[in-house]
Structure 1
Amino acid sequence: MGSDATSNPLDHPLVFGQRMQVLRTRRGMSRTVLAGLLDKSPSWVKQVENGALHTPGLPMILRIAEVLRVRNLAELTGDQSMPVDLFIGPGHAKLPAVRSAIDTFPTVAADREAPSAAHLRTRLESAWSARHSAPKHRDVIGGLLPSLIRDAQLAVRQADRAPERRAAQAVLSEVYSLSQFFIAYQPDTALLWRVAERGLVAAQESEDPHAIGVAAWLTAQAHRDSGPTHFDAADAVTLETLRYLEPLLPEAPDEVRAIAGALQFEAGYTAARRGDTGTAWSYWETARKMAKRLPADYYHPVTSFSRAIMGAHAVTIAVELHAGRESVRQVAKADAEAIPSRPRLARHRIEEARGYQLDGQPETALATLVKAYEAAPETIRYNGYARRIVLEETEAKSPERRRRAADLAVRIGVLAA
């Protein structure tokens, strides 16, 4: 490494408070904002950072790690004997094959003819259906993606007329969208962004409103999950796409209305992450009105947007606003059984568990995470919020809660058997 290389402060033996300050600063988060998200005072944050207070206990460490989106607890604690990944799950066995398909571009003069866009779309729809119905959904789509990616890339390269090329680009964009669901929360952030960017480019080339909306929806999520300094970028993508879709909506098919509704909710989700209660609920209400314009049994295969999902979305808004009582109230109103997708139901159960914990009901939170595991084990295994709650409960005062939490921690791969 040259002498002008940038040093990483976390490579040095810093104490907990110093590490917390470095990570907070990297996230562009003030002490006041961090304190509010932890239900502490700014002076408490300052005292922890300057060493005036001792390192907090494990439950608070886990909450700090969640708020700061720490990938691995060792980054925060400095203790390499605690290499617990939170917001990055385990690398799936099929990740190398998917990565290879993404990174290997076929030439136009391949030794085979590409499938038609219509054929590829049928396969894509089957893949989405399989994802929604499978408990181990990453295993299923990880097996389908490599050939689907290669065939969609080849279809674009062999298309020799503009209409065919646009149709192939639309399918390729949505194949990349499916790939993002597989890659998310796995240990290859660069691959995730590569796929997101390629999906956006292919969608723009397709000139297809639905493909553009889906690619924007996923890109906004990638920005938001990168932390507060990326919230403005998430909003820019979301709101610009909504402005593009708005004049099309009166005559648009259901799938385009659904992606517009999903984007409206995303704007509310980002506002909730900011702590902007009024804006968050206003966008949720706008999205709810859009959902009511869809058939009662409609369910968007990518975003899950539908009438059935709006109750789950309300729980998410309340949880992101750290409103425990309101979260539980929204849990009671939501109809979880109306969600037909196993991974999306599991995600909703995790949001329910977050709400119960915010409301001081840890036993119910833990029981709800068990339900999430029963719906889709691979969803909870890769979810940082669930992993944090389970780890926190392994330190509970109740022996029975500790036992149940440890059992779930082993099943989701947070603790060794």
Structure 2
Amino acid sequence: MTSDATPDPVVEPVVFGQRMQILRTRRGMSRTVLAGLLGKSPSWVKQVECGRLQMPKLPVILRIAEVLRVGDLADLTGDQSMSVAMFTGPGHPRLPQVRAAIDAFPLASRHPAPSTRHLRARLVRAWQARHSAPNHRDVIGALLPELIQDAQLAVLQADSGRERRTAQGLLAEVYGLSQFFLAYQPDPALLWRAVERGMVAAQESEDPHVIGVAAWLATQAHRDSGHAHFDAADAVNLATLRYLEPFLPDAGTDVLAITGALRFEAGYTAARRGDTGTAWRYWDTARAVAERLSGDYYHPVTSFSRAVMGAHAVTIAVELHSGPESVRQATAADVTAALPSRPRRARHRIEEARGYQLDGQPEAALATLGKAYEAAPETILYNGYARRIVLEESESRNQSQRRRASELAVKIGMLAA
């Protein structure tokens, strides 16, 4: 029986070029856009997809997988011996318990809800633990099941409209904490349930800061879903910035910070699109907000602060695929000591490593990934960019680079010891 359906490259025996075309089309990406992100010409992309050029070498394959957000390298190559998870980390042992807490319906527990003051104190401690832990999913994964249930109970048992709005704000924050646990794990549907429930709870809270945080998290979830979702990321982000604008003249510190964080996210998405001018313009507007904050302020969810703007500059340059500018920004603002969050420091090191890789300095990239591992091993484990660099360099012709990459791959569980 004939069919007009698009073949599934995961299960059907199609060649590399066809797989690349199918995966590109699913992402809603044109050949021109893919070519620009790869540093190639549209005609090169067409020739690969049409089979007139052979499957490229591993470094290019890894770059294609990164741009197309391929979950497993084998989905792109068709070679099951190259089955390597790219942008999805392993399922955490605590994932089933967190999933059960999020999916529980109706809420069967009848024990009295804790006070909103008690819930707030627990959330403060949870965020502090998340930032200080080298393996933050271990820590927050243990806390989340009870936090989710208790925050839901607080909403259900609220005695007044004001108390209910406060409880909704706390519930939204719990769902936000859940998203840090769920990100890059093999259950995207669960992540999206947390995103959407967090947005609903935030809206019910009527709290501008809570609404801003939920939008910040939703923006990231849309953008991480791939090029076809960038418009959705911008829609949520820019609408929330418009909503926050009237509050800014008299805004407290947290509302200012989430506004700055959202402005940067708009620049981040623009950089992923390859729009240099817009990306740096939003970075500038975010920096202007950061300058209104005290030097020791650090937003507990987004990490927004004066110090983080240097790290954000590296991210913009990397997403624009400018190796020299990435390295320049990293050199100009060594902010790792000023970032109190271990996962955030590790992520910044990974961004620096990407910059060194783009600049043709693989040894420096691997050394920087080693520093990221020291800060927070789990962050590398779940980061597709770090995994791509390690995998690529483990195939290097340079014996020293190959050895260092292989040692790091063993540490983070990509290769057997």
TM-score (norm 2): 0.97
Q: How many residues align?
A: 414
Tell me what 1:361 maps to: 361
> Residue by residue, what CA displacement relative to the aligned partner does 1:59-79 show, whole Å, maximum 9, x if unpaired?
111011001110100110111
Q: Give how far 1:30 is off.
A: 1.4
Tell me what 1:219 maps to: 218
Q: 1: CA distance between counterparts of 2:5 and 2:154?
A: 43
Q: 1: CA distance between counterparts of 2:226 and 2:364?
A: 29
Q: How does 1:134-213 map to 2 (within 5 A)?
A: 134-213=133-212
Q: 1: CA distance between counterparts of 2:135 and 2:227?
A: 31
Q: 1: CA distance between counterparts of 2:104 and 2:7?
A: 33
Q: How does 1:257-406 map to 2 (within 5 A)?
A: 257-334=256-333, 335-406=335-406
Q: Give how far 1:50 is off.
A: 1.1
Tell me what 2:33 maps to: 33
Identity of aligned residues (%): 74
Q: 2: CA distance between counterparts of 1:355 and 1:58?
A: 19
Q: Give how far 1:6 is off.
A: 6.0
Tell me what 1:83 maps to: 83
Q: 2: CA distance between counterparts of 1:363 and 1:339?
A: 24
> Residue by residue, what CA displacement relative to the aligned partner does 1:240-265 show, whole Å, maximum 9, x if unpaired?
00111111112111111100000000
Q: Secondary structure at the match of 2:14?
A: coil
Does the Cα contact within 8 Å between 1:299 and 1:306 map onto a contact in 2?
Answer: yes
Q: 2: CA distance between counterparts of 1:343 and 1:105?
A: 32
> Residue by residue, what CA displacement relative to the aligned partner does 1:387-416 show, whole Å, maximum 9, x if unpaired?
000000001111111111011111112222
Q: 1: CA distance between counterparts of 2:92 and 2:228?
A: 29
> Residue by residue, what CA displacement relative to the aligned partner does 1:129-178 show, whole Å, maximum 9, x if unpaired?
00000001110110111111110011111113101100000000000000
Specify the code of the residue in structure 2 equivalent to 1:231: F
1:126–1:352 CA distance, 2 compared to 1 (3 A): same
Specify the code of the residue in structure 2 equivalent to 1:182: F
Tell me what 1:16 maps to: 16
Does residue 53 (structure 1) correspond to residue 53 (structure 2)? The answer is: yes
Tell me what 2:131 maps to: 132
> Residue by residue, what CA displacement relative to the aligned partner does 1:96-137 show, whole Å, maximum 9, x if unpaired?
001111111454x84310001111011001000000000011
Q: Secondary structure at the match of 2:203?
A: helix
Does residue 407 (structure 1) correspond to residue 411 (structure 2)? The answer is: no
Tell me whether 405-414 or 170-179 shows the greater mean CA deviation. Answer: 405-414
Does the Cα contact within 8 Å between 2:6 and 2:22 map onto a contact in 1?
Answer: no
Does the Cα contact within 8 Å between 1:325 and 1:359 map onto a contact in 2?
Answer: yes
Q: 2: CA distance between counterparts of 1:4 and 1:27?
A: 21
Does the Cα contact within 8 Å between 1:106 and 1:153 map onto a contact in 2?
Answer: no
Specify the code of the residue in structure 2 equivalent to 1:146: P
1:46–1:4 CA distance, 2 compared to 1 (3 A): closer
Q: Give how far 1:336 is off.
A: 1.9
Tell me whether 245-254 or 343-352 shows the greater mean CA deviation. Answer: 245-254
Does the Cα contact within 8 Å between 1:106 and 1:150 map onto a contact in 2?
Answer: no
Q: 2: CA distance between counterparts of 1:135 and 1:182?
A: 13
Q: Give how far 1:22 is off.
A: 0.5
Does residue 229 (structure 1) correspond to residue 228 (structure 2)? The answer is: yes
Does the Cα contact within 8 Å between 1:105 and 1:153 map onto a contact in 2?
Answer: no
Q: Secondary structure at the match of 2:231?
A: helix
Q: Give how far 1:37 is off.
A: 1.2
Q: Which runs of 5+ in 2 are unaligned?
A: none
Q: 1: CA distance between counterparts of 2:166 and 2:7?
A: 46
Q: 2: CA distance between counterparts of 1:60 and 1:46?
A: 15
Q: 1: CA distance between counterparts of 2:120 and 2:106?
A: 19
Q: 2: CA distance between counterparts of 1:374 and 1:152?
A: 34
Specify the code of the residue in structure 1 equivalent to 2:388: R
Q: Give how far 1:54 is off.
A: 1.2
Specify the code of the residue in structure 1 equivalent to 2:97: A
Does the Cα contact within 8 Å between 1:106 and 1:154 map onto a contact in 2?
Answer: no
Q: Secondary structure at the match of 2:18?
A: helix
Q: 1: CA distance between counterparts of 2:176 and 2:3?
A: 39
Specify the code of the residue in structure 1 equivalent to 2:66: E
Q: Which runs of 5+ in 1 are unaligned?
A: none
Tell me what 1:102 maps to: 102
